[in-house]
Structure 1
Amino acid sequence: MHSFPEHLLKGHANFMDGRYVREKDRYRELAASGQTPSTMIIACCDSRAAPEMIFDAEPGSMFVLRNVANLVPTYQPDGGQHGTSAAIEFAVKALEIANIVVMGHGRCGGIKAALNPDHSPLDAGDFIGKWMSMLGELPGQLGTNSMMTASEQQTALERISIRNSIGNLRTFPYVADLEASGKLAVHGAWFDISTGELWVMNGDSGDFVRPEL
């Protein structure tokens, strides 16, 4: 039998001696009263783009959903098992989240795979390929643009995908209704791993801009 990874045990020991000591009262309050985060972050499961670190979040302040390439499907109440949709339903209907942020990032492996569909799948099940097919014709449209380098195409699709996921998010009836009534705000963001910069999507134009700190 394999032993539990030593680096995780050491990390937990550091947590107990550091952050937990500083925020012990907060953790105990959360344990007793439950969570009441105001913001949901839909992010990629890439290990380099952890929302809690990027936003220096306090425990209990963000409800985080991570999946491959931070994609949001359309609303499909078909009886299937939809993990992303279940998390959105819980965040909006149970936690009454005030903000949803779809956050992509640079050098996303899922987006790279979508732009290179001719590569062999990692496994016969090709779960990644099927998941990324949610982007439809968008990767192909970008891939035929010979004026853009491969890295430019990837950055463009990473940002276009965020706008696409926001559009899909708005197919959820309760999301659309709450946004229309001003009770819920939907945002887009893109994180550059190499520089640490955060680019925020303008809700009117769809452009990504760096906010002033």
Structure 2
Amino acid sequence: MDGFKNLLAGYRRFRDSEWRTQRERWAELREGQSPQVMVIACSDSRVDPAQIFDTSPGEIFVVRNVANLVPPFEEGGGRHGVSSALEFAVTQLEVKHIVVMGHGSCGGVHASLTNAFADAAPGEGGFIAHWVDMLDEARAKVIAEHGTGPEATRALELETVRVSLNNLRSFPFVNERLEAGKLLLHGSYFAIRDGVLHVMGDDGEFAPAWH
């Protein structure tokens, strides 16, 4: 199976179907974008936000990375991929909502929980280890409460959402808009096993979206 050839075949199907049926929409998007929602999701190939939320082109502004993590606000240091996308979405596109979507069977969470890449060099897991160390505090709490089994995995997958939401609030331009009522933050979790989306309530707990 040739992965790139499959992508090209998919493009041809897209060109012959969706692109043709939504020509007016694509013509509008040629002039610019104005999504109302930013989604921060995992890079995992099984959890495409556009598919899960059944969105149209131009409807959501998406950032994906290992374990759907948002780093805390900081100046200086290295390059800030998530931070720059967040800044663009909030200050330039003026999105009204930011959704952090965690998911089941997350490889980044597994790496954090098992400490699989501790002391690894870049190219051998070192970049992964340094990224998921944002979960160290949450990991310690989860292990203290649940050990390291399946219950702990699910708990830490949910914690990725809470950690990212807390870190979002550390960005001055995000917090300013939250306080002004111009921006809302949402947490969600997609369970791959049964296809159920869970939404985080004001109490920090998750419940199926149809409740």
Q: Distance in 1 between matches of 2:200 and 2:88?
A: 25
Over 3 Å counting, the alpha-carbon distance change for 1:4 and 1:50 in structure 2 is closer
What is residue 43 of structure 1 aligned with on the other side?
41
Matched residue, 2:133: 133
Give, in whole Å, the separation in 2 of the partners of 1:4 and 1:138.
Answer: 37
C-alpha distance in structure 1 between counterparts of 2:33 and 2:59, whole Å: 8
Q: Deviations over 1:146-180 (max 9, x none)?
A: x5561111110011121111000000011111111
Segments of structure 1 that go 5 or more residues without pairing to the other structure are none
Letter in 2 for 1:26: R
Assess if the C-alpha contact under 8 Å between 2:117 and 2:125 holds in 1: no
Deviations 1:174-211 (A, max 9, x none): 11111111100000000011211100000x20000112
Distance (Å, rounded) in 2 between the aligned partners of 1:118 and 1:86 = 29
Counterpart check, 1:116 vs 2:118: no
Which shows bigger deviation, 166-175 or 125-134? 125-134
Change (3 A) 1:4 1:211: closer
Q: Which runs of 4+ in 1 moved over 4 A?
A: 118-122
User: Is 1:164 matched with 2:192?
Assistant: no
- Normalised to the residue count of structure 1, the TM-score between the two structures is 0.92
Mark the CA change 1:62 to 1:207 in structure 2 (over 3 Å): closer, same or farther: same
State the partner residue of 2:153.
154
AA aligned to 1:192 is: A
Give the match's secondary structure for 2:13: helix
In the TM superposition, residue 50 of structure 1 has moved relative to its aligned partner by: 0.2
Q: Secondary structure at the match of 1:165?
A: helix
What is the alpha-carbon distance in structure 1 between the residues aligned to residue 196 and residue 124 of structure 2? 37
Structural RMSD (CA): 1.9
Distance 1:159 1:73 in 2: 16
Give the direction of change, closer, same or farther, for the CA distance of 1:199–1:12 in structure 2 (3 Å limit).
Answer: same
After superposition, give the CA deviation of every residue in 1:101-160 in whole Å (9 maximum; x if it has no partner). 000000000001100014575834610000000112221332244x55611111100111
Give the Cα–Cα distance (whole angstroms) in 1 for the partners of residues 4 and 103 of structure 2.
28
Amino acid at match of 1:59: P
* Percentage identity across paired residues of the two chains: 44
Structure 2 partner of 1:19: 18
TM-score after normalising by structure 2: 0.93
* Residue in structure 2 matched with residue 199 of structure 1 by the alignment: 198
Q: 2:53, 2:72 → 1: CA distance? A: 27
CA distance in structure 2 between the partners assigned to 1:96 and 1:118 by the alignment: 39
Aligned length: 208
Whether 1:28 and 2:27 are equivalent positions in the alignment is: yes
Deviates more, 1:34-43 or 1:18-27: 18-27
What is the SS of the residue equivalent to 1:190?
A: strand
CA shift for structure 1 position 212: 1.9
Counterpart residue number, 2:177: 178
Unaligned runs of 5+ in 2: none
CA distance in 2: counterparts of 1:197 and 1:30, whole angstroms: 31
Greater Cα offset, 123-132 or 158-167: 123-132
**2:37 touches 2:99 (CA, 8 Å); kept in 1?**
yes
